[in-house]
Structure 1
């Protein structure tokens, strides 16, 4: 089992599994409350779980040891995450989870584009075909009835 979890692929698949559960659980949870409050509750749970994980594993890092550039980009990432979650929960409140989640996954397409444009990452023609198919599939699932 340890070898299985050593690669990025296993962690990415687990991320996809938990993202799917997030959509289903959030859709049920947001049904009778304000979507922004639901996002707040979710955030408190995440902070608590991560705090416990850091304490239990001894991975806490003194904030002063984090370089300024890392702080800047982590804060920007946090702001983007918060905006994403607020939008996601609002979309789940208004729409079907099975149609909201695929549009949310257009982030895969946006990451590929931004990775190529701003980070100099290179994808093969086959990988770009996959990105295009992800985009087409997300749109078809979201608009199909």
Structure 2
């Protein structure tokens, strides 16, 4: 099995638990506080992982590659907004309906990757994206 597929599946499993654990842990908190706590825990965890791997020796590259750093800032803001909106939706909605709508990000990512990165997609890929969109909507609006 290809390495990208293994890590992609691990990401999907991890993301699933994020949604489940958030739903379990958000009962008595505001979505904003829950998102902040989760972000702090993730930051501490990832700093420990980066420190263990010796990644902080590459911090000077942030200055060298300003454009990359700018995009990482935008990615961080987008991720924070995504988590916040997900937490707001989970606070008031049913997990089984919120999760598929959140996964419409897959469809949006494919469309943007075709438009911006000029990535090619096969007919099977197009059909798959349409099925993801339709499936997400069918489940969420059931």
TM score, norm. by length of structure 2: 0.95
Task: Give 1:61 shift.
Answer: 3.9
Match of residue 118, structure 2, among 120, 140, 143: 120
Unaligned runs of 5+ in 2: none
Superposition deviation, residue 65 in structure 1: 1.6
Off by >4 Å, runs of 4+ in structure 1 = none
Output the CA distance in 1 between the equivalents of 2:92 and 2:69: 34
Count of matched residue pairs: 140
Aligned ranges 1:26-41 → 2 under 5 Å? 26-41=22-37
How many Å apart are 1:56 and its aligned residue?
1.1
Does structure 1 residue 48 correspond to structure 2 residue 41?
A: no
1:61–1:77 Cα change, 3 Å: farther
Partner residue of 2:66 out of 68, 74, 89: 68
RMSD of the alignment, in Å?
1.1
1:110 pairs with one of 105, 108, 111: 108
What secondary structure sits across from 1:31 in the alignment? coil
Matches within 5 A, 1:2-13: 7-13=3-9
TM-score normalised per structure 1 = 0.93
Structure 1 stretches lacking a partner, 5+ long: none
